[in-house]
Amino acid sequence: MNKNVLILGASGDIGNAIAIDLANQGYNLILHYHKNHHTIERLQYILREDAILQTVQADLADTDAVHNLCSEIVYAVHAIVFVSGTAHYGLFQDVSEVEMDEMIQIHVKAPWLITHHFLPQMIRDQFGQIILITSIWGNIGASNEVMYSSVKGAQNSFVKALAKEVGLSGISVNAVSPGFIDTKMNHHLLQDEKTEIISHIPVNRAGLTSDVAHAVRFLLDEKSNYIQGEIINISGGWF
Positions annotated as catalytic residues are: 148
- β-strands 79-82, 52-57: how paired? unpaired
Distance of alpha carbon 181 from alpha carbon 4, whole angstroms:
27
Which string of b and e fits 86-101 if b means at least 16 CB within 10 Å? bebeeeeeeeeeeeee
Let me know: does 169 contact 121? Beta carbons within 8 Å. Answer: no
Let me know: does 173 contact 80? Beta carbons within 8 Å. Answer: no
Sheet containing 28-33, strands listed edge to edge, beginning at the edge strand earlier in sequence: 52-57, 28-33, 4-8, 79-82, 128-133, 171-178, 231-234
Three-class SS state of 145: coil
- What stretches of the chain show up as alpha helix (H) in DSSP? 13-24, 37-46, 63-72, 97-104, 110-125, 137-140, 146-166, 191-199, 209-220
Distance of alpha carbon 110 from alpha carbon 105, whole angstroms:
6
